[in-house]
Amino acid sequence: MLEDGLSYPLSGDNTLGRIVIGSLLVAGSILVIPMFLLFGYLVRVLESTARNEPEPPEFDDWGKMFVDGLKGVVVTLVYGILPFALIGVSLTLSVGGAGSGNDAAAGILGGVGVIGLLASFVGLFVLYYLVPAALTNMAVEDSIGAAFDFSLLKDVLLSFDYLIAWLIPFGIAFVAQLLTSALVTFTFGIGIILVPTVQFYVNVSVFYMFGSAFGKVTGISPSRSASTADIA
């Protein structure tokens, strides 16, 4: 899975153009529209890899890609409500306890706040584990409601293939961080222009792993283009 994931972004035709466009979207993701377009493309990667398509999707049908990105952000926010709410409440309790002037109250509220923070961090790990599968099912079914189809998602989430797809990106992210730091440090800042390219490449690789694991577990049908390619 790791080798296939790392080679996937370089597969197919127009690789350079695809990576340049993706890098520009990463660089512009601090703005609203490029962020949604980038997320929409990554959702498209989830679908194509789940359907076992051998090449990364192209940047086309920009309107749909924007809508897919918007839906992906909505799904992520919905799943993130609980852990982020816990973080907010926990920080509020901790700060409120510290500023109460009462040692007993500060101790109780501080303890509750710490427990809440620990629970919220666990929630964030669950969020990171669950959301890619939810987004993949949304992309495959082309329905935002499919992101909350827990009867299907539980089979994916409890599978060994998906667990591996979840664990590998931690190592990739660590290496990517070292690479981006080296690009900035050892090129006197000039290499910073390549950081968006590294980030795009890593994102596509990671989303490939999630999508392919989802497809393997669910056994969904390949797309028409993939079927035609297999016959050929």
3-state secondary structure of 208: helix
Per-residue pLDDT, 113:
52
The more confident residue out of 95 and 167 is 167
- Who has greater pLDDT, 156 or 232? 156
Nearest of 47, 89, 85 to residue 68 by alpha carbon: 47
Stronger pLDDT, 195 or 92, i.e. the higher one? 195
pLDDT tens profile 85-133: 666 666 665 555 555 554 554 555 555 555 655 655 666 677 888 999 9
Beta strands in the chain (DSSP E): none
Percentage with pLDDT > 90 across the chain: 47
Beta carbons of 214 and 42 less than 8 angstroms apart: no
- Residue 107 in tokens: 């101790």
Band of residue 232 on the pLDDT scale cut at 50, 70, 90: very low
The answer to whether residue 11 scores a pLDDT higher than 50 is yes
Q: Indicate whether 60 pLDDT > 60.
A: yes
| Lowest mean pLDDT across 15-19, 155-159, 173-177 | 173-177
Task: Determine the Cα–Cα distance for residues 84 and 82; give it in Å rounded to an integer.
Answer: 6
Query: 114-128: string of b/e by CB count within 10 Å (b at 16+)?
Result: eebbeebeebbeebe
* Cβ-proximal residues to 127 (8 Å cutoff; 6+ apart), any chain: 79, 80, 83
Does residue 140 have a pLDDT over 90? yes
pLDDT for the residue numbered 223: 58
